[in-house]
Chains A and B, each alone.
Chain A
Amino acid sequence: MGEHRVIIVGAGPAGVRAAQAVVRAGLRPIVIDEAARAGGQIYRRPPENFKRDHDALYGTEAARARAIHEDFAALLPHIDYRPETLVWNVAEGHVWAAHEGETQPLPYDALIVCSGASDRVAPIKGWQAAGCYSLGGAQIALKAQGCAIGHRVIFLGSGPLLYLAAAQYVKAGAEVAAVLDTSPFWLRVKAAPKLAAMPGLLWQGVKLLRDLKRAGVPVLTGVTPIEIEGDPQTGVSGVTVRHKGAVKHFAGDAVAMGWHVKPEAQIADLARATFAFDEATRQWLPQTDADGRAGNALYLGGDGARVLGARSAEVTGELAAMAALADLGLTMDADRRRWLLAEKANYAKFAKGLAQAFPWPHELVAAIPDEAIVCRCEAVTAATLRASVNTAHAQEANRAKAFSRVGMGRCQGRYCGHASAEIIAAARSVSLEKTGRLRGQAPVKPIPVALKRNDL
Chain B
Amino acid sequence: MTARFRRLVETDRPPVSLTIDGVGVTALLGDTLMVAMLTHGDALRTSEFAGSEPAAPEPSDGRRAGFCLMGACQDCWVWTASGARLRACSTPVQNGMTISTRQPEATWANIA
Chain A contact residues, CB within 8 Å of chain B: 34-36, 41, 46-52, 118-119, 128-134, 136-138, 140-142, 144-151, 172-174, 231-235, 253-254, 264, 370-371, 373, 376-381, 383-384, 410-411, 414-415, 445-446, 448
What is the 8 Å Cβ interface bit string for chain B, positions 1-28, against chain A (1 contact, 0 not)?
A: 0001111111111000000000000000
Q: What are 26 A-B contacts with C-beta separation under 8 Å?
A: A34-B71, A47-B30, A51-B12, A52-B9, A118-B72, A132-B67, A134-B67, A136-B69, A137-B68, A138-B69, A145-B31, A146-B7, A146-B11, A147-B5, A148-B8, A149-B5, A151-B6, A174-B8, A232-B51, A233-B63, A235-B63, A371-B53, A371-B55, A381-B52, A381-B53, A411-B75
- C-alpha spacing A384/B57, complex, angstroms: 13
* Contact present for B69 and A253 (CB under 8 Å): no
Chain B residue at minimal CB-CB distance from A128: B61
Q: Assuming A138-B69, A173-B9, A379-B49, what are 6 further A-B pairs, CB within 8 angstroms?
A: A36-B90, A50-B30, A128-B47, A137-B68, A147-B8, A415-B67
User: Of A146, A232, A376, A414, which contacts B58 at CB under 8 A?
Assistant: A232
What is the 8 Å Cβ interface bit string for chain B, positions 38-56, against chain A (1 contact, 0 not)?
A: 0100110001011111110
* Contact present for A141 and B75 (CB under 8 Å): no
A to B contact number (C-beta, < 8 Å)? 166
B74 — which chain A residues lie within 8 A by C-beta?
Answer: 377, 410-411, 445-446
Chain B residue at minimal CB-CB distance from A379: B61
Interface size on B, residues (CB 8 A): 50
A414 — which chain B residues lie within 8 A by C-beta?
Answer: 68, 72-73
User: Of B10, B35, B65, which contacts A51 at CB under 8 A?
Assistant: B10
* Contact present for B35 and A145 (CB under 8 Å): yes
Smallest CB–CB gap between A323 and chain B, Å? 27
* Contact present for B65 and A410 (CB under 8 Å): no
* Contact present for A130 and B49 (CB under 8 Å): no
Chain B residue at minimal CB-CB distance from A174: B8
A145 and B70 contact, Cβ closer than 8 Å, known pairs A235-B43, A381-B54, A383-B54 = no
* Contact present for A147 and B70 (CB under 8 Å): no
Chain B residue at minimal CB-CB distance from A127: B67
Smallest CB–CB gap between A95 and chain B, Å? 18
* Contact present for A377 and B8 (CB under 8 Å): no
B53 — which chain A residues lie within 8 A by C-beta?
Answer: 371, 381
Say yes or no: is B97 at the interface (Cβ < 8 Å to chain A): no
Say yes or no: is B95 at the interface (Cβ < 8 Å to chain A): no
A231 — which chain B residues lie within 8 A by C-beta?
Answer: 62
A129 and B62 contact, Cβ closer than 8 Å, known pairs A134-B69, A147-B6, A235-B42 = yes
Chain A residue at minimal CB-CB distance from B63: A130
Chain B residue at minimal CB-CB distance from A149: B5
- C-alpha spacing A52/B64, complex, angstroms: 30
* Contact present for B5 and A141 (CB under 8 Å): yes
* Contact present for A137 and B32 (CB under 8 Å): no
Q: Which 7 A-B pairs have the closest CB atoms?
A: A232-B62, A146-B10, A137-B69, A410-B74, A379-B61, A47-B30, A130-B65
A254 — which chain B residues lie within 8 A by C-beta?
Answer: 4
User: Of A47, A140, A148, A380, which contacts B69 at CB under 8 A?
Assistant: A140
- C-alpha spacing A376/B60, complex, angstroms: 12
Smallest CB–CB gap between B83 and chain A, Å? 10
Smallest CB–CB gap between B56 and chain A, Å? 10
Chain A residue at minimal CB-CB distance from B32: A145
